Amino acid sequence: TKDRTMEQQFEGKIAIITGAASGIGYTVAHHLASRGARVVGVDLSDSVGALMAELPGKGHHGIARNLTAPEAAGEIVEETIRVAGVPHILVNSAGVALLDAAVDVPAARWQATIDINLSASFYMAQAAGRVMVEAGYGRIINLASQAAVIGLDQHAAYCASKAAIVGLTHVLSLEWAPKGVTVNAVSPTVVETPLGKKAWAGEKGEKAKREIPVGRFAQPEEVASLIGYLASDNAAMITGSNVLIDGGFTTV
């Protein structure tokens, strides 16, 4: 028999998840919904509404929005409060990886990376943080990356944006800890989402796996489980952390 407490771990909790239509974001949405959370999924893709409606449980909601508009975050939080209530959890999963040699990074691709990976996450954390601080409870988890703590070839914009996420996480955690709001970052290695599998197919992927001490990439559900823990009441003492889930890659 399943542990009933685990099944209902997030009952009564409202979670906003960005990038919820695919990859890690969708896996996190499914993970939290299956444990009782009411999920508001945000994504650039129009499919987000249908995907959220199919999640386990009831009352889920999809919002198709471009998060790079500074006003989008406030409007998303307002819509969440209107359809579900004040959010308890925010997972910032939306992001892009636009790869170029450092000498070749076009200004537009640099700016797009910063806008999506860093600025949109900040705007969402700021808007959610305001209502969470007022409510006296919140869990914010930002998706960073192993690229936040090491250099990777052709990842100048990506590494810069993810390192900045960790710095931002430190500040928000410091300011909001006395108000019952924790803010943490999660930093995976390559994750075997559909996009990850495609990007790391063939010998390139096999070589990358050999460089990871455990010898494989991360599974989306492994990342979602870690995020689920940080989003839970059990993790109240963990804030300001950047938790690596990289099979030991950054220790080598």
Percent of the chain with pLDDT over 70: 97
Whether 158 sits among the annotated catalytic residues: the reply is yes
39/55 Cα distance (integer angstroms): 9
pLDDT at residue 81 is higher than 60: yes
215/25 Cα distance (integer angstroms): 24
Extract the tokens encoding 190. Answer: 């390559």
Per-residue pLDDT tens over the stretch 114-162:
999 999 999 999 999 999 999 999 999 999 999 989 998 889 999 999 9
Contact 87, 137 (CB under 8 A): no
| Residue 155 per-residue DSSP state | B
Contacts of 147 (CB under 8 A, 6+ apart): 155, 158, 159, 162, 163, 187
Phi, psi dihedral angles at 74 (to 5 degrees): -60, -40
The CA-based dihedral angle spanning residues 132, 134, 136, 139, taken in that order and rounded to the nearest 10 degrees: 10
The CA-based dihedral angle spanning residues 16, 99, 109, 107, taken in that order and rounded to the nearest 10 degrees: 140
What CATH code would you report for 4-191+219-246? 3.40.50.720
- Which of 116, 154, 152 minimizes the C-alpha distance to 108? 116
Per-residue pLDDT tens over the stretch 34-79:
999 999 999 999 999 999 999 999 999 999 999 999 899 999 999 9
pLDDT at residue 98 is higher than 90: no
43/31 Cα distance (integer angstroms): 17
Q: What mean pLDDT do residues 96-100 have?
A: 87
pLDDT at residue 4 is higher than 80: no
Q: What mean pLDDT do residues 105-117 have?
A: 95
42/30 Cα distance (integer angstroms): 14
61-64: strand order across its sheet: 61-64, 38-43, 14-18, 89-92, 138-143, 181-188, 242-245
pLDDT at 153: 87
pLDDT at 154: 83
Selecting among 26, 137, 158, 229, the annotated active-site residue is: 158
Q: What mean pLDDT do residues 167-189 have?
A: 98
pLDDT at 1: 41
Band (pLDDT 50/70/90 cuts) for residue 6 is low
pLDDT at residue 106 is higher than 80: yes
Residue with tokens 């492994």: 222
Extract the tokens encoding 204. Answer: 């390139």
pLDDT at 110: 96
69/66 Cα distance (integer angstroms): 6
pLDDT at 8: 84
Predicted TM-score of the model (pTM)? 0.95
pLDDT at 5: 56
Extract the tokens encoding 152. Answer: 């990777």
Comparison of pLDDT for 171 and 97, the residue scoring more? 171
